[in-house]
Each structure stands twice: as structure tokens, then as C-alpha cells.
Structure 1
Amino acid sequence: MAKKEKTPSQTPMMVQYQKIKDQYPDAFLFYRLGDFYEMFNEDAIKGAQLLELTLTTRNHNSDNPIPMCGVPHHAVQNYIDILVDKGYKVAICEQMEDPKLAKGMVKREVIQLITPGTNTEVGSESAKSNNYLTALVADTSNHKMGFSYADIATGELKAATLADSNDLINEVMSLKTKEIVVNSTVSATILDQLTKIGILVSHQEEVTVKAETSYLMQGLENKIQEKSVSLLLTYINVTQKRSLAHLQRAVSYEPSRYLKLDHYSQYNLELTQNIRTKKKSGTLLWLLDETKTAMGARLLKRWLDRPLLSKAAIEDRQNKVKVLLEYYFERSNLQDELVSVYDLERLAGRVAFGNVNGRDLIQLKTSLQQVPKIKHVLDTLETPEFDEILKSLDPVEDVAVAIESAIVDEPPMSVTDGNLIKDNYNDQLDQYRDAMQNGKQWIAELQASERKITGINNLKVAYNRVFGYYIEVTKVNLSKLPEGRYERKQTLTNAERFSTPELKEREQLILEAQEKSAALEYTLFTDLREKVKLAIQRLQKLAQVISTLDVLQSFAVVSENYRLVQPQMTQNAHDLQIVQGRHPVVEKVMGRQSYVPNDIRMDPQTSILLITGPNMSGKSTYMRQLALTVIMAQMGCFVPAESAKLPIFDQIFTRIGAADDLISGQSTFMVEMQEANQAVLHATQNSLILFDEIGRGTATYDGMALAQSIIEYVHDHVHAKTLFSTHYHELTALEDNLSELRNVHVGAVEKNGELVFLHQVENGPADKSYGIHVAKLAGMPEELLNRASDILSRLEEENQGKTISAVTEPRKQLKINEEAQEAEKPTTVNEDEQLSLFSEKSVDPKSEKVLTDLKTLNLMSLTPMDVMNLVNKWQQKLGK
């Protein structure tokens, strides 16, 4: 879509087209020509390919014909949606005057630029999700970033201050934004990161916030947030070119005020997207969504993205869920009323944009008429938990009454063709309608009269838009017409059409009444729309209250259906006790009878559970169910267990599953180390860490050394509640040296040579690995399995007595010299200290080489893995 050079042979229309196109070089220009939107040049070539249109040419007889394709104006939205969904921008260029009245070229201009982040026309399924447009500015002086986002359809507007690119990526991934607006302050490195994850980067340098939107920034916390919101509002004004009265005042938010889940954790835990199918089905959102309104569904997703940290706020939601759970019939009545509530947030946006139609207003009226019924349901609960919600339920009765009195019950889609306003609403309109009705009656009487005068029984008086009213007579009956009475108007194959002076006069009166009636109806409609526009803020507040009610009733339904219980929440207490906990999504898929529940118990003195057991036994499920239980609880929902006592966690970190980051060219092991590093660096004692099979992506010694050192670091420095599953059974020995670590395992038994998973988590380490048994379950060939068993037996026989075990002694030495290490000062242990680690018995010749190595060894410069390799080497030399 590069700029095309103007040539001398260009027609005036193409000159106009190119001038407009040059203003929007990065967008498809939909140029209105009559009943079509046309694309030319490179837009046409690429558009025809993307939209599967026929590519033609303009001036095809010239030496350089112009590529061209088009779409019908009445179906344009579908084509716009296709392009925008693919990440493109579309500029809509309309005719700004009537071609019949224009002198010279018809004036045209772009009335809207539709982009991935500004598209407000969504389908029914997409209506359950927000479409966020984001903006970013950087402050190099203090290394902070101003970040903001808005949903143009609903009016939501928020801003935050971010510390680094990790925070930024977490935010944009969580919001699932398709487009971000930046200025020159944002570095190329960050722009590259955003582009790699598939976000459209739009540039906006000039900032000119209009007076009517400047108040939206009042109350922001700092200048960097104001700059970000200013950039965002400028871009919205430039692209949308219409009223933004529904945008709400910007709210500052701090990501740290909510339970933090980085995008890795959200992905690994399948909160909103199934890892395999990329769909909603099979996710926590899928389980929790029993909402009855689109705006309730969106709020549920926002709550899922940002669980709470405040004990009081969490318990407030849970107590409301408890009431709704206990009052079954009242909850059913509430659901019945919510079903008839349409999307108030998006309806308010359409009113502000000026593209609301009669059917939208009927939906608004219907929604408002449910509010008194909803208030009545809440009144019957007779509990204080819903007092604040009751006070906030404003039925906006004046708007409902105004719509009821003005708009017909079944209005047409068009707002300019009439038949929209009720009778007796406006005296002038009633007069026009009376004239039209009388005129039509006169036409009917004229037809009867003419048939009687001429004796032509099939004579008819009719109307079309081109020729107006006419008298039609078939050719076989033309001889029956009296001379001089009729004026020929049109000749058809089998008939002639005529008019009379009386018919012309009446036609003028009727058409004038029709035209004035339609114009007056549109004026009355726009007046009503402006009245509704004054109530936008009230409608938005009402939408927030109804959305909250919808999510709370959804929690109550889910809690009843899946036997969830209210957890006991504790602040700053590290006691975690879950009795018969379950993974709610897995249980829903498998069925209640098939799922095996498990306890998860971690008292204040236990920070790490080291989980062993065979593959497919349920270790990952056990870990995930704890994370989902925590998220559900801090959202304000009940949890899947017989009983639960939970601390309030500030962050959740996960390293579950294996995945390459192909975009960044990073291997599974690199991704694993990065995710583990996020936890090690940023977790606190109030965090939850889930590590599944850390170290499996590299060699055995490397992997086990890393796994052990990570466990020790978390144990000694972080003290976060940690579930660490592993196949390195040697690590279970750490329980003897790490006071806050406890071994548990997932049970499995062999019956007649077959492996049976018990899916029951028990205290203590697993007794053995079952890798070959799992391979058998996977359907491996019998010959292959037999060979594997033979190789395993030989390896066990050859290495009998040489089992690798966890290294504990070097850790003690390292801990003694921790201060020296932190200061990065090399510390050398003298030979006497080195030798004191071993027996002082006399040295035999076999040991001389080992002692020589020890004398030259700088122990403090070695990693645990190096120590393990050396010890193994010495044991072999000593024949032990």
C-alpha cells in the first residue's frame, strides 16, 4: 500500500483518490462510488487477495490500466471485519454531498479509520470480550513507562505506571490487546518485542486533547500517566472523528494491587485459553461463566485477570455469593430478569457515537424496564449484603419513558426511511401521516372511478420511485380510453402508463408529505437520541452494578453445581489447609465419580512440598488445582474442596509443561530457566510457586544440580509456598536437611505387571520410577519395552552401590561463606580445611591421586554440579 506517484493522465477522480490515500498510507482506503466502496492500485491487488474479490481494472484500454476491486456498500461491514481481524486498518471515505447537486467532483473525505484496537462492531461471541486499544510512552529520566488502555465500545479507560518491559508484556498479553499506540519516546527494542508477539504498533506524535475530553484525565496519579492517556485520546479522536461522550474518566490502577499472574502463568494454568485448542472450552473461564449478560461475561474475565489482595474485599464478594447460594428461588428470579438485560455499556457507546438505531433504543428500554424487577428480587433477600447494590440500581426511568412514548415496538433498521415514531407523539407528524393516508385513500377511489368510467376492469393506479404515480392500461384496452383525458407517461411491452392533471396534483401532495414525514421522524429520533446521551454516565453506572450482580449469581450457580465451599481467608498467615481439594475443570470433564480428590496441607513451618511419582499419575493436576483454588478464592468465588483455609497470595509463578519460544528462537530449556528465574527473582514469602520437572531439559547431572540449587535457594531466601514435582528421586534426601521441605508422592501400584495409578497424594517419597510402565501404557511395541527393561536391569546392576544422591555438604560450606560470595570476593579454603572433610586415616596408594586433586581444589569456586562430578570421579578411582 505504498504511495503511488501521480501521472499526467490521471482523471480528476483519481487525483482526488490519491490525495486522500496519501493521508492514510498504512490503511486500505474504501472509496465510495455510488453503491460501492472501491479500492485501487496496490490496495486493490492486496484487498482482492485477502477478501477473495475479483480484480478488475479502470481505464483498461490505456497503456497503464489501474487495478480495481470493490464491495457493495450494504455489505461493507463484513469485509471491514475480515481485514481488521487480520491486523489491517481500513479508512472509510464517504461522499459528502449529493452527486445530483454537486458541481464538478463530488466532495469526499474519510469519516472514520477503523483499526484492530478501535473496531466496535462485534459479533455475539466477541461481545463477551473487551477489545482494548492501548498506549505507551516512556520517560527516560526515571526509566518509567506510562501505560493506558480503553475499550471504545464500552467507554472503559485506565492508566498505570510500569517499571520495565516485563511488566509491559504482562499487561498487553493479559489485556489481549491487538493494537498499541506509541510515540518516539518508546525504544526500538520494546517496539520489536511488541511486534514479535503480534501486536499492531501505531505511531502518533502530535498530541491535541480536545477540551471536552480533557476532564477524563483529572485524578490521574502522575504526569507519565497523563501523557499516555493524552496520546491515547488523541489517536482515538484522529481515527474515530465522532463523539466520545461515553468515555469514562481515566482510573489509575496499580498491577501490584492485584494478585499478579504473569502471562506464562496465565497460559500454563489455562485460565482463559485452552493450550491445545486455543479455545475457551476446557478453561477456568469456561467453568465459571454462567453469566446471563455480555457485560457480565466481560466483568467475569476482568475479575479472573485481576484477583484481589484485600481480605475485606474478597470476603465481601464471597458473602454475597453465600446469600445467593442459600436463596435458590430468588436467584432463579434474578437470572430470569438478567436474561432480558441487553449490553448497556455498548448501547451507551452507540448512543454517543451517533450510530444507534430504533432497535437499539428498544433494547435499552427493555433493559431499563428490568431494573425495578431486579430491585424487587434483591428486596426479598432481606440481607444487608446487597444494601449498597440496591441503592446503586438506578432504573433511569426518564429514558425508559421517553423511548416508550416515542419509538414503535418493532422499528425498522433504518432511521431515515420513516415508520419509526409512534402515532400521537408529534402533531405535525400526525398531519403528514393523515395527508399520506388520505392520499392513498384518494388513489384507491381514483382507481375504482376510472375502471367504472372506462369499463376496463384491470386498469390500475400504482407507484414507483422513478415515475411516481401512474394509471396503467394494457394495450388491448387502449381503444376504450376516452380521447383527451389521459397524458401518456411511459410505454411498456404490453401496456401504457398515463397520468392526469388531478393525479399529478395529488401525487405532489402525497410525495411531499412522505418526504417531510421521513425527515421529521429523523429529527424527532435524533432529538430523543440526544436526551438519552445526557444519561450516558447513569447508564454506565447501572451497567457496572448489573454486571457485578451477574458475576455474583454466576459464582453461586457454579458453587451449587460443582459442590464448592466458602474458604477461610487469612492475611499474612502462611497456613494452607485444603481438605479433599479438586481440579474443577478436570473434574467437570471427567465427571464427579471418576475424579480422586486430595488434601494439600502446608503449615507455617512448611514452605516446600517435593512431589515424586510416575508420569501421568496426577502431579501436574495436583499442582494446578492449588493455583486455580487460590485464584477462585481471591476472585471472590467459592472453591472446590470439602473445606479450605487459605492465605492471601500476592503472586503466582508457574513452570509447568514444555514449550519452545520459536519467535524468540529459544529452546524449551531456555524458556524453563526464564520462567524459573522470574519466580526466583520476584517471589516473596507471600507468593505461590509451582515448579514441574525443573531441569529435565538438560543432562542428568546438570538438571539435578539446578533442581537442587533452586529448591535450596527458594527454601533459604524466598520462603514462598512451593510445589516442586520431580523425577530426580535423589532429591527426596533433602527433607533431612531442609527444615521447611516435606516429601509427598502420588501413589501407584503394580498389579499383574500392569501399572495402576491411584491419583492419591500421600506423605513420603515415591519408592521407584515407572517410566517403562508409562511407555507401555502409551502403546510402545512389546519388543521395544522388553529391550528397555533389559537395559534398565543392566544399568542398575552395573551401578549398584553408586546411586547418585543429593549434595548437602557443599551447601553448608557455601552458606558459611555467603557474605564473601555476595561481595564477589574469591575465597580459598586451605588444605587442612579441605582434608578435614574426609577421614584422617592413613592414605593408601589409590588415594594419592584423589588427595592431590583435593590439595589444589578451590571448593568455593565450584558449582554443586561440579562437586557431584568430582565426587563421582573419585569414587570410581577408589573403587567404591
Structure 2
Amino acid sequence: MAKSKSEETPLMQQHNAIKAKYPDAVLLFRVGDFYETFNEDAVIAARVLGIVLTKRANGAASYVDLAGFPHHALDTYLHKLVKAGYRVAVCDQLEDPKSVKGIVKRGVTEMVTPGVAVNDKLLENASNNFLAAVHFGNNNTGVAFLDISTGEFFIAQGNLEYIDKLLQSFKPAEVVFAKPQQKHFRQHFGSRFYTYTLDEWIFTTQYSQEILLKHFGTHSLKGFGVADLEEAHIAAGATLHYLRDTEHPHLQHITGLQRIDQDDFLWMDRFTVRNLELMNSSVENGHTLLNVLDNTVCPMGARLLKRWLVFPLRDPQQINERLDVVEYFIKETDLAKNLQQHLKQAGDLERLVSKIPLKKINPREVMQLAKSLQQVQAIQELLAATSNTYLQRLHAQMDPCPAILDRILQQVTDTPPVLVNKGGTIREGVHPELDKLRMIASSGKEYLLQIQQKESEATGIPSLKVAFNNVFGYYLEVTNAHKNKVPNNWIRKQTLANAERYITPELKEYEEQITGAEEKILALEIQLFDDLLLALQEYIVPVQQNAQAMARIDCLLCFAGNALQYKYRRPVLTDSFELDIKEGRHPVIERGLPAGESYVANDILLDQQQQQIIILTGPNMSGKSALLRQTALITLMAHMGSFVPATSATIGLTDKIFTRVGASDNLSGGESTFMVEMNETASIINNITPRSLVILDEIGRGTSTYDGISIAWSIVEYLHDMTPHKPKTLFATHYHELNELENKHSRVKNYHITNMESGNKVIFLRKLAPGGSRHSFGIHVARMAGMPPALVNRANEVLAQLEEKHIEAPLQHNIKQIANSTKVQLSIFDAHSDTFKQIRDMLEHVDINRLTPVEALLKLSEIKGLL
């Protein structure tokens, strides 16, 4: 039976009324010096935060669960709740309890969710914290990414594959979408993200236009170059609505929209981003390309480098501009060193300025903002004499904002407190009244000492002292030994065991003067600091432009430093379709080698005339996968504007990099290894262009040997003959039968990774050489992995028996002859002669040269049906 409101305490009535407005959030309810949680919120807080769960009275014969923590520990506990995936509503006291009789007015001052975080403890310096919104339209899907902590706002629209890639690249902390689209979202994007649903009416064209135009104060969005992205507008409007819905009305630092066009960047689908281990490693604590490249020195640069990594450029002019700057910094080492020193001292200018409109910036951070602007000034001076046109543009873009810089330095003390209400923020000489009040407070205290000395001499009480407490202010304390000397006009206030405490009219007068001055000093300092913050709001845009320029300089300095330290060379980007890498190295593996060991470099040449497809064979663990990945990574780094780990690299402009590497199940999606493999491969086949680079590793391994060889064979033929695009392709395989393709197709070439046999040992030389390999040395690898000797010996015996049955017979013209000649596994045909005859008849009528991969799969499915 529910309690009536009259049975609840007034405090709990107030709490429950506020909680009703935020039913899906943990409510931190400020009571005095504590934030308290009640009922189910208290149970969550106790479990997540490790604090004590207790009970307290709530009216007659009623109790509620209770868990709380001191208000000064808010940042720590808030961080834990949000990281645990909870939405948190912070409810503060909106009145001074001293001036109110009864219940203090309270209200939610901030809602914190994973995607709406501005607290430093909730943020990582090197990473953005994006809130994303997704809107499923009729023909396109719109997406928006907004980082409230930096003011960055990106929008895009396209097909579901494109949106999926963007979600993977931006890695939003939270994604919002319309409630009716929940099933649709899960179906296409899975459960990889923290999500929240909003009412459907928010995702409408009219509402989104209204909220966006009102925010930016414009009549249209044409000025941002995004006028034609209707679905993206709707997503963008939803993000702004969500921020206001979570008590974030002050968003003046969100000053523009940036469009992301798929055609502007080298395309990598989410499988490729994963397979190349750009930002996440497949092994715990493993290195990634980001780890290896990121030697930035300021947080803005670290965040920008991540975007450059997942959005490499396609415009040769922009790429060469970056390469020119890197080369310039390599030559101008003193300039590079000086710039880097100033960037190190700049702090996180982007996040500092974003705290101004959010009213989250404190006096110490304002002084750090001033120091950052001083670094901007120094960097701009260093760039003044540069001969590089890109750096000249950055120089023109930067503005140290001298007026507001001087004002901060003139008004704020050198070492201000973190909290303005602690006093000591504003310098002397800034405000005459403030200086006068400070003098009163200071001289008043000195006068108290004079009163003490004067009264001691007048009364003959040598131990007389003036002291203060919160109950009755300043007082004179007299020990019992001298209380008979106290004058009649002193007023007794307190009797202690060994002393008496008195006040005098003169003492009270000065007490009022001193305490009144201190209160006025604090109020005036707060007012002056607020005036300073108001003035700072006018400089948000130029300061953000400074931060963006510094981020670019930091990334390019990082590239130059990497090139010098790790002997990277400048790539040559051309309009051709050729990829020619001399002595290429894997940038990640190279950095992880033991001291003194050097990476074995290899050449790679791919073009559309002579060597379009390389079939790469070689022993297990010999380095096939490393060679494939390094080719893709070198191409990627070149398009980022970075020098590359090679002695030279001529790279035809690439629009897409596709990879299919390894085999893994999608158990949650109900898909087998083979289905995942085929889905990813089909995505490649359906999206290739003449400028694509295709990396295939062990295609067909997820199914039986015959099926696998058939599919791998048909994929190579399709890429060679059945598509006009002729994409550059590297295909690593264990199916040595594929070596036969070189004899049948002019642009297919066999290569292998070399090795040397010494007795029963295999030494991997890791060098690429022409010609196919006939051995995988799997048993040698099993021995190296620590398999029992008896198991390894038995494997050798079985291998010898199989080899006697001509397992190495070359593949002839079609799949029928694989069935006749190859005994890699026990043949199903041997046990079912009638079925075998049917299948053989069916295969005889198949023209494999015209069979597409999809038709091959359907034919294999039909064969399986016969079994």
C-alpha cells in the first residue's frame, strides 16, 4: 500500500517530486554537506560506490534506504556511477540554508550521462567524448557527433554501411535515436554502444530546423555547407535537444557544423579498421598503429591524430601539403623543437575554452587559459618567418587575443584558488572598493590586537586574549584567577571551567566591521570573476581556432619526429594505379622487436598491367599476414600525410582499402566463422573500384577444404576477369593449389615467404621471393608451440602416408579434378557412389570461368543438399 504524501517527511516529499522528473537517473540529492541517495538509488549507489547502505525514518512507522557521501567527493563518485553506465542527476540546494526557514529549495543543476560529460575525471585527454544521434530516413540514414567538452560538431548521411563505419571510427560514448527505431538500430549496429531513446517527435525535419537555426542564430544552414543533408540535420537537432534535456542550456561554444563526406576520405569499412588494428589490438595490451604513431605533445593534437588515422585524405593537394610541412620540419629542426616546447605548455586549450559557457571554469583554469594564450603568441611569432604556405595559413588563423589575455593577467592573481568563493582570486588595484574593504578587514584585525593590549593594561589582566567562535563572534577571555579584575561594563557571554568569556560594545562594533568587510570582499570577488567570464565568452571562436591550428601543428611535428627517429621516407602520391614499395616494413611490429633485432624489409609491386594480383604462400608464422598488413598500413600512412616505413614508396591514389583477415565467429549474431568470412568478402566484392587495395588472408578457411579452394579460386578469377576495376590485390593462402592460377591468368603472380630447413628445424627468413610454396610446415609450428613429441611424431607419420597418395598433385582445370586427385580430407564421395555420380554430373556442366562467387556458393549449397 503506497504511503500518502502526508505520511512522508517534507524532505522526502521534495525528493520524490524531483525524482519523478528523472525516473531513469540516479538522483544525487544535496542535503547539507552530503549528497544523499534514497530507495532504489541508494541500493545502486551502495553497490557501485562501495558506500554503506542504511535506513532512515520517513514519517511515522516508515523507513527508506539511504546511502550518501560528502559533497566535496562528488567528482570521484560521479565518475564511478557514469562509468558504470548510469545516468546521474545532480540535485543541488538553490538557496542559502541560513536565509531560509523550513525546506531549502532544490533542483537538478546537471544531468550527467556517458555522452554528456564535461568533468575532467570523466574525460580522457587524448580522446573525444562524442554524443551521437542516428536517424533512419527513407533513403538515407543521418548521423551527428557532438563533443560538448570541445564544441566539435560533425554530421553525415549515407547508407547503413557508411554510418556503421562512422560509428566505429568516432566511438561515441552514447548514441540516441527514436524509440520506435530501437529494433532497427540493434539489427544494424548491434549492442556495441551505450544507447538512449528519445520521443519520435524530436526526429522531425521541422523541429530539427527550428532548434538548429535558433542555436546558431542563422536563417539557414547554407553557410555551413550542409544544407542538403536533411537526415543529418534531424540527427543534429536531436543532439542539441538531448543536451538541453539534460540541463545543459549554455552551449555558446558549439559554433558550427562540419560535414563529413565519404568522397573526401580514403574508405575503410569497420572490418578493415579492426583487421589492421588501427586503434584496438586483437591481443591484450597489444600495440596498435595509433600507439606507434602518436607522439603528439598536447591533448588537442592527440585527439586530431585519431581522426586523421580513421579519415585519411584522398585529395592529393591536401596530402602533399601535409607532406611538405613534415619535410619542412625535418629540415628546420630548431623551429620544430621550439614549437613543440610551446605546445607542451599550452595545456588543453580546446576544453578550457569550452568550460566558459558551461560555467565550469575555475580561477586556476582561467589563469591556465592565459598561459595557453601566451603560448599561442609565441607560436605565432615563430611561424611569422616561415616559408611554408600551409604554416603561413595557420599563422594567419591564430589570434592570441591580447586584450583578454592582458585583462586576465591584470585581474587574476598568479596563484588563484580552485574555488572563487575561497577568496584571493582578484589582484589588488583592480577595484578601489575591493582594496578598501581588504584594508578594513586587515586593519580591523590589527585593531583587535590593539584592543587586547589596551584592555590588558587597563585592567591589569596579563593573560587577557581576544578570540573568535561562530556562536557569538569575537570575545575577551579571562582566566578565573583574574576574573575579579573584570570591569562592570563588560558583558559575560560564557562560563568555562577555568575561564570566563566577555564582549564589549567596542569589540562588537569592530566585529561587525570586519565580518561585514569579509562578506563584501567575497561577493565582490565573485562578481568581478563573473564579469571576466562574461568578457571571455566573446573570445570563444578565436580561441577555438587557435586550438585547431595547434592541433594540426602538433600532428605534423609528430610525423616529422617519427620520420627522423624511425627512418621513414616521404611517399610519392601519383594519379597512376601502381603501388611500388621498396624495402617496406611493418610500423607496429618493427617497434616491438627486441633490442638489436632489425625488421626484414620487403618490396611490393602491384599494378593493373603486369602484376594485379599476388598469390602469397609460405610457412605458418613466416610473416605472410605481416606483409599484407604492412602494405595496407604504408598506403594508409601516406594518405594521412605521414612519411612511411620504407626506403621509397610510389603510391597511386587509393580510394578504398579492404581487408579480410583471420576467422572469427559472430556468436551473438548467430553467424558461423564461414558466414562472417563470406559477409565480409561479399562486401569487398560489391564495393571495389579501380583505385581499391584489397588484402585477403586465408579466404575459405572457415569451411571444408574443397569448398574453401573453390571459393578462393573463384574470388581470384572474379577479381582478375569478371570485374572491369582490376583492383590491386594481395591474397595470402594455405591452398597451394591456387599457385596454378598464375599459369591461367596473365596478371596473377605467385610469391612465397622464404625459409630454410636445417635438419628437422625450419628457419623463417621472412623474405619475399617469386614463385609459389608447396609446404606450410604446420607440424613444425606445432612443435614450436609445445605440442607433445608423441603427437608431433604421429602427425609426421600421417603426413607421409597422405603424401604417398599424391596430395601435392597440381590443380588442373576445374573443381571436378580437385575431387578426383586431392585427398586432403576423407572424401564424402567415396562413401556414397550414387551421390558422387550425381555431383560429378552436375560439376561437368559447370563453366567455372563464368561462375560468380555467389553462384558458386549456391551451387555448393545445392551439392550439400544432395548429401
What are the superposed Cα offsets for residues 51-110 of structure 1, whole Å, 9 maximum, x if unpaired? 111111121896542111112111112111111112210011112222333344322221
Superposed, which structure 2 residues align to 1:244-259 within 5 Å?
Answer: 244-259=251-266
Displacement of 1:357 in angstroms is 1.0
Instruction: Name the CA distance, whole Å, in 1 between partners of 2:649 and 2:505.
Output: 90
Q: Residues 851 and 412 of structure 1: is their aligned pair in 2 closer, same or farther, counting only changes over 3 Å? A: closer
Instruction: Name the CA distance, whole Å, in 2 between partners of 1:675 and 1:494.
Output: 88
529-538 or 232-241, which deviates more: 232-241
Counterpart residue number, 2:583:
580
Instruction: Name the CA distance, whole Å, in 1 between partners of 2:396 and 2:545.
Output: 12
Q: 1:706 and 2:707 equivalent?
A: no
Residue 176 of structure 1, aligned match among 171, 176, 185: 171
Superposed, which structure 2 residues align to 1:367-386 within 5 Å?
Answer: 367-386=372-391
Displacement of 1:538 in angstroms is 0.8
The aligned amino acid for 1:577 is D
Q: 1:186 and 2:181 equivalent?
A: yes
Instruction: Name the CA distance, whole Å, in 2 between partners of 1:305 and 1:865.
Output: 33
Counterpart residue number, 2:412:
407
Counterpart residue number, 2:806:
800
Residue 301 of structure 1, aligned match among 296, 302, 306: 306
SS in 2 for 1:150: strand
Contact 1:708–1:806 (Cα < 8 Å) also in 2: no
Contact 2:243–2:249 (Cα < 8 Å) also in 1: no
Instruction: Name the CA distance, whole Å, in 1 between partners of 2:860 and 2:465.
Output: 105
TM-score of the superposed pair, with normalisation by structure 2: 0.90
Contact 2:268–2:658 (Cα < 8 Å) also in 1: yes
Instruction: Name the CA distance, whole Å, in 2 between partners of 1:663 and 1:116.
Output: 24
Counterpart residue number, 1:160:
156
Counterpart residue number, 1:820:
none
Q: Residues 27 and 449 of structure 1: is their aligned pair in 2 closer, same or farther, counting only changes over 3 Å? A: same
The aligned amino acid for 1:432 is L
Superposed, which structure 2 residues align to 1:422-501 within 5 Å?
Answer: 422-479=427-484, 481-501=485-505
Q: 1:517 and 2:525 equivalent?
A: no
What are the superposed Cα offsets for residues 134-160 of structure 1, whole Å, 9 maximum, x if unpaired? 1122223xx212211100011011111
Counterpart residue number, 2:401:
396
Contact 2:815–2:843 (Cα < 8 Å) also in 1: no
Instruction: Name the CA distance, whole Å, in 2 between partners of 1:578 and 1:248.
Output: 43
Q: Residues 711 and 96 of structure 1: is their aligned pair in 2 closer, same or farther, counting only changes over 3 Å? A: same
Instruction: Name the CA distance, whole Å, in 1 between partners of 2:383 and 2:843.
Output: 80
Contact 1:258–1:650 (Cα < 8 Å) also in 2: yes
Instruction: Name the CA distance, whole Å, in 2 between partners of 1:64 and 1:644.
Output: 77
Instruction: Name the CA distance, whole Å, in 1 between partners of 2:619 and 2:495.
Output: 90
Instruction: Name the CA distance, whole Å, in 1 between partners of 2:665 and 2:45.
Output: 34
SS in 2 for 1:682: coil
Contact 1:4–1:18 (Cα < 8 Å) also in 2: no
Counterpart residue number, 1:641:
646
Q: Residues 762 and 860 of structure 1: is their aligned pair in 2 closer, same or farther, counting only changes over 3 Å? A: closer
Counterpart residue number, 1:290:
295
Instruction: Name the CA distance, whole Å, in 2 between partners of 1:180 and 1:852.
Output: 51
The aligned amino acid for 1:576 is L
The aligned amino acid for 1:723 is L
SS in 2 for 1:182: strand
708-717 or 535-544, which deviates more: 708-717
Contact 2:212–2:237 (Cα < 8 Å) also in 1: no
Contact 2:179–2:197 (Cα < 8 Å) also in 1: no
Q: Residues 408 and 600 of structure 1: is their aligned pair in 2 closer, same or farther, counting only changes over 3 Å? A: same
327-336 or 850-859, which deviates more: 850-859
Q: Residues 693 and 502 of structure 1: is their aligned pair in 2 closer, same or farther, counting only changes over 3 Å? A: same
Counterpart residue number, 1:532:
536
Q: 1:266 and 2:273 equivalent?
A: yes
Residue 627 of structure 2, aligned match among 619, 622, 625: 622
Counterpart residue number, 2:670:
665
Instruction: Name the CA distance, whole Å, in 2 between partners of 1:851 and 1:336.
Output: 76
Contact 1:134–1:148 (Cα < 8 Å) also in 2: yes
Q: 1:145 and 2:137 equivalent?
A: no
SS in 2 for 1:535: helix
Counterpart residue number, 2:770:
763
Counterpart residue number, 2:820:
none
Instruction: Name the CA distance, whole Å, in 1 between partners of 2:30 and 2:806.
Output: 83
Counterpart residue number, 1:240:
247
Displacement of 1:752 in angstroms is 2.2
Contact 1:701–1:865 (Cα < 8 Å) also in 2: no
Contact 2:264–2:314 (Cα < 8 Å) also in 1: yes
The aligned amino acid for 2:450 is E
SS in 2 for 1:747: strand
SS in 2 for 1:324: helix
Q: 1:859 and 2:865 equivalent?
A: no
Instruction: Name the CA distance, whole Å, in 1 between partners of 2:842 and 2:390.
Output: 74
Contact 1:429–1:517 (Cα < 8 Å) also in 2: yes
Residue 215 of structure 2, aligned match among 205, 213, 216: 213
Q: Residues 455 and 302 of structure 1: is their aligned pair in 2 closer, same or farther, counting only changes over 3 Å? A: farther
SS in 1 for 2:568: coil
The aligned amino acid for 2:156 is A
SS in 1 for 2:639: helix
Q: Residues 55 and 674 of structure 1: is their aligned pair in 2 closer, same or farther, counting only changes over 3 Å? A: same
Displacement of 1:418 in angstroms is 1.7
SS in 1 for 2:181: coil
The aligned amino acid for 1:324 is F
Counterpart residue number, 1:841:
none
Q: 1:744 and 2:731 equivalent?
A: no
The aligned amino acid for 1:702 is D
Contact 1:737–1:808 (Cα < 8 Å) also in 2: no
Instruction: Name the CA distance, whole Å, in 1 between partners of 2:565 and 2:499.
Output: 72
Counterpart residue number, 1:230:
237
SS in 1 for 2:598: coil
Contact 2:216–2:256 (Cα < 8 Å) also in 1: no
Residue 43 of structure 2, aligned match among 35, 42, 45: 45
Q: Residues 580 and 655 of structure 1: is their aligned pair in 2 closer, same or farther, counting only changes over 3 Å? A: same
Counterpart residue number, 2:825:
none
Q: Residues 687 and 785 of structure 1: is their aligned pair in 2 closer, same or farther, counting only changes over 3 Å? A: same
The aligned amino acid for 1:329 is D
Contact 2:115–2:173 (Cα < 8 Å) also in 1: yes
429-438 or 179-188, which deviates more: 179-188
What are the superposed Cα offsets for residues 323-352 of structure 1, whole Å, 9 maximum, x if unpaired? 001111111111111111021111111111
Displacement of 1:808 in angstroms is 4.7
* Unmatched runs of 5 consecutive residues or more in structure 1: 812-845, 872-880
Counterpart residue number, 1:566:
570
Contact 1:196–1:663 (Cα < 8 Å) also in 2: no
SS in 1 for 2:536: helix
Counterpart residue number, 1:874:
none
Contact 2:79–2:121 (Cα < 8 Å) also in 1: no
What are the superposed Cα offsets for residues 414-452 of structure 1, whole Å, 9 maximum, x if unpaired? 112321100001111111111111112112222333333
Instruction: Name the CA distance, whole Å, in 2 between partners of 1:668 and 1:636.
Output: 36
Counterpart residue number, 2:65:
67
Displacement of 1:385 in angstroms is 4.2
647-656 or 344-353, which deviates more: 647-656
What are the superposed Cα offsets for residues 445-483 of structure 1, whole Å, 9 maximum, x if unpaired? 22333333344444322334443222233444434x323
Contact 2:140–2:157 (Cα < 8 Å) also in 1: yes
Instruction: Name the CA distance, whole Å, in 2 between partners of 1:302 and 1:327.
Output: 26
Contact 1:6–1:18 (Cα < 8 Å) also in 2: no
Instruction: Name the CA distance, whole Å, in 2 between partners of 1:364 and 1:259.
Output: 36
TM-score of the superposed pair, with normalisation by structure 1: 0.89
Displacement of 1:4 in angstroms is 8.4
Contact 1:392–1:545 (Cα < 8 Å) also in 2: yes
Contact 1:29–1:93 (Cα < 8 Å) also in 2: yes
Q: 1:722 and 2:729 equivalent?
A: yes
Contact 2:602–2:768 (Cα < 8 Å) also in 1: yes
Instruction: Name the CA distance, whole Å, in 2 between partners of 1:434 and 1:539.
Output: 37
* Unmatched runs of 5 consecutive residues or more in structure 2: 818-832
Q: Residues 566 and 536 of structure 1: is their aligned pair in 2 closer, same or farther, counting only changes over 3 Å? A: same
The aligned amino acid for 2:809 is T
Instruction: Name the CA distance, whole Å, in 1 between partners of 2:358 and 2:98.
Output: 28
SS in 2 for 1:649: coil
